[in-house]
Amino acid sequence: MSTVNPDDIAKDQLTAFVERIERLEEEKKGISDDIKEVYAEAKGNGFDVKVLRKVISLRKQDADERAEQEAILDLYLQALGMPTA
Amino acid sequence: MSTVNPDDIAKDQLTAFVERIERLEEEKKGISDDIKEVYAEAKGNGFDVKVLRKVISLRKQDADERAEQEAILDLYLQALGMPTA
Amino acid sequence: MSTVNPDDIAKDQLTAFVERIERLEEEKKGISDDIKEVYAEAKGNGFDVKVLRKVISLRKQDADERAEQEAILDLYLQALGMPTA
Amino acid sequence: MSTVNPDDIAKDQLTAFVERIERLEEEKKGISDDIKEVYAEAKGNGFDVKVLRKVISLRKQDADERAEQEAILDLYLQALGMPTA
């Protein structure tokens, strides 16, 4: 629509798209706040939030892929004289 | 909880927190996908997605603040010999 | 190197890669700090940092592309009854 | 400088700040490219780039903090019936 004529702008259509996106972004923001609240609640119950985030991310990872990456990591850490995981 | 004893981990509580976070992240992912779909639909209808995103972000900005920033921007662009907005 | 044997790890080679990356990351961090300092200096001289960042990003943009995007943006803003740039 | 008068803009000063920032950003971009090259070279030599990045980030972490985080992580993974690191 780069060389569009002002009158060709479908105002209602544009307005509808903008409002749909804004409603969804509002909803998404609400859920982000909910996630923050759960982490805050977990922290309040003595859980380590940083580790809890790590658990959540590990649970998304394919188990075999995770095992392989951790095996290679241990190899590299040993080669560098660092403590393994 | 840094020097926690393994048995003290409230397994059910930890599991509940993890599942709540995962459910919310799933929901959030779904809404992100919905937003992408709306932008794709707008693109399909001839709208410029990059500009549409700019409109959405401008609508979040306080009108006075936006006017002031744009006025200063024009000043700087003029000072640098660049075309103003 | 997924099924690598521990002894095959070229320790010196790995160490060399790690140290090269760390040196470069150190250098990069130094330059990031320098950039922050210039913005702080500009702020101290009365310049608006947010607008200055905008100027820097606009100067990276192709002039024609910028003009086109701003023209479309004005169209959309007008269609939505918002003040144009 | 929000209600600044156009003539008060220190053009030379603004130009100097802009050029200093652009030069530094150019330098930073160059180093980022160098880092990418080292990772590519490491990959070409059979190293796993994802694990190499993990090693680099672990080396930035305080050893005690890392040990503690990994201990807690193992506790949580055990509590959730997942394989530990």
DSSP-derived letter for residue B83 is P
List the single best residue of B43, B64, B76 to mutate versus C (max C Cβ within 10 A). B76
Q: Rounded CA gap, C65 and D25, in Å?
A: 22
**B-contacting chains (≥3 CB pairs under 8 Å):** A, C, D
Q: Rounded CA gap, C23 and B60, in Å?
A: 41
pLDDT at C25 over 80: yes
Which pLDDT value is given to residue A5?
55
Question: Quick one: tokens of B28?
Answer: 């959030």
Nearest to A55 among D59, D73, D83 (CB): D73
Question: Are both D41 and D78 inside the same structural domain?
Answer: no
Please check whether residue B73 is in contact with residue B85, taking contact to mean a CB–CB distance below 8 angstroms.
yes
Which pLDDT value is given to residue C7?
56
Residues 6+ apart with CB under 8 A from B9: D75, D76, D78, D79
Residue carrying the six token digits 């794709």: B40
Per-residue pLDDT, averaged over C16-41, amounts to 98
pLDDT at B21 over 80: yes
Question: Are both D16 and D40 inside the same structural domain?
Answer: yes
Which pLDDT value is given to residue D84?
86
Question: Are both B8 and B23 inside the same structural domain?
Answer: yes
Question: Are both C3 and C30 inside the same structural domain?
Answer: yes
pLDDT at B8 over 80: no
Interface predicted TM-score (ipTM) of this complex, two decimals: 0.84
Count of beta carbons in the 10 Å neighbourhood of residue C84: 13
Nearest to B76 among C55, C69, C80 (CB): C55
Q: Rounded CA gap, C21 and C27, in Å?
A: 10
Q: pLDDT band for position A31 (50/70/90)? A: very high
Which pLDDT value is given to residue D63?
94
Question: Are both C40 and C59 inside the same structural domain?
Answer: no
Question: Are both C2 and C40 inside the same structural domain?
Answer: yes
Question: Are both C85 and C60 inside the same structural domain?
Answer: yes
- Print the domain residue range for D80: 53-85
Question: Are both D31 and D70 inside the same structural domain?
Answer: no
Q: Rounded CA gap, C63 and A16, in Å?
A: 31
Question: Which chain D residue lies closest to B68 (C-alpha atoms)?
Answer: D2
Question: Distance from B45 to chain A by nearest Cα, in Å?
Answer: 9
Give A52-81 pLDDT, tens digit per residue.
999 999 999 999 999 999 999 999 999 999
Q: Which residue numbers of B have CB closer than 8 Å to C's CBs?
A: 47-48, 50-52, 54-55, 58-59, 63, 66-67, 69-70, 72-73, 76-77, 80, 82-83, 85
Which pLDDT value is given to residue A18?
98
Structural domains of chain A, count: 2
Question: Are both C25 and C58 inside the same structural domain?
Answer: no
Nearest to D21 among C2, C17, C35 (CB): C35
| Mean pLDDT score of chain B | 91
Helix, strand, coil % over all residues of chain C, rounded to 5: 80, 0, 20
Question: Are both C25 and C4 inside the same structural domain?
Answer: yes
Question: Are both D1 and D42 inside the same structural domain?
Answer: yes
Question: Are both C80 and C58 inside the same structural domain?
Answer: yes
